[in-house]
A = this chain, B = another copy of it.
């Protein structure tokens, strides 16, 4: 992935970052160093905004912000297509307001909305949305729980859900406030089912372009795809039903990490598990983080330099279609309760995500220290154009 959640790293793809307020300096992604002699605003990271309106929803190809909340909701009984339209109109309006640093329409703490900090709100649909709207025939074929894997120890309270709210920003106050506004607005339509909070780095704490390290200390995300160069891997193209063009899918899996067990493994064992160096993330066959791993290279003893079961080998394939965009966050809910909120986006879960997950389930040294305890899949409808609401192409199609 393109670095930790630093402001100066800017945004990728369709979601432009701008600075709100009168002292805006222009689009910072093009000026990684400010104009000499002109001081950047001390609250620059707070004033940055991501555009809400557009053919695609924000928060997918947006450079990961420092903080994320993933909230699954279950629909209340009686929520039909008309009610869903009302909810989507409300969320569309509030997401647009909040992402620009303005209070929600009925915001009871409007002052807490003043720091947008690259806030993004992204909405996903579980299969129950299609059933409730009497549109089950228009649900994507891949929209169902993932098959169970041998490594899974799924817990009900981290799995499933009818709706997803993904709320990300570079300030945790902003995330907290936005989640509260959106949940309150939804209360007659849906109730929270589970909530997962993740973090990367605060803005301005690591150099732009630094690849994130996960709670096991590994450089995580080096081999990620570039959604600008290969948009077809992320964004749905017209599949005949039409409404999902510009949309995607999101898989949210909670991966518990056995950090105490990992402590028992020395650095050689850790590097062998992944196939990359701990110091800089370079493959064991290379010298730079971004060197391509040489899966054929053998050492003096004739064995592969990268272990046959190393994570970097098992997660790779010769099929360029079996790739997807990863956007994970770390979680730490106290001693013994840490891991990843592992989040991926792909045009087609079955074609892209499943084959890789099957391969890792079969064999991956990393499995000894990681356990999936939650799993959910959602369809991410396209973005809202001018005067549109989220999901309009589906709900009025």
Give chain A's interface residues, CB within 8 Å of chain B.
6-8, 32-34, 36-46, 66-67, 108-112, 115, 117, 170-174, 176, 179-180, 183-184, 192, 195, 199-208, 213, 215-217, 259, 262-263, 278-279, 330, 332, 334-335, 338
Contact = CB atoms under 8 A, between A and B. Distances in A.
B203 A111 contact: no
Contact of A40 (B40, B173, B176, B217): B40
Nearest to A112: B217
Given A34-B39, A173-B201, A179-B332, 15 more contacts: A6-B42, A6-B43, A36-B39, A43-B204, A46-B201, A66-B202, A67-B172, A110-B217, A111-B278, A111-B279, A172-B202, A195-B334, A202-B202, A203-B205, A204-B204
Contacts of A112: 213, 217
A217 B213 CA distance: 33
A202 to B, nearest CB: 4
A66 B117 CA distance: 14
A166 B279 CA distance: 29
Contact of A330 (B45, B176, B203, B213): B176
B202 A43 contact: no
B42 A202 contact: no
Nearest to A73: B335
B42 A111 contact: no
A291 to B, nearest CB: 19
Nearest to A205: B46
Contacts of A184: 263
A42 B207 CA distance: 6
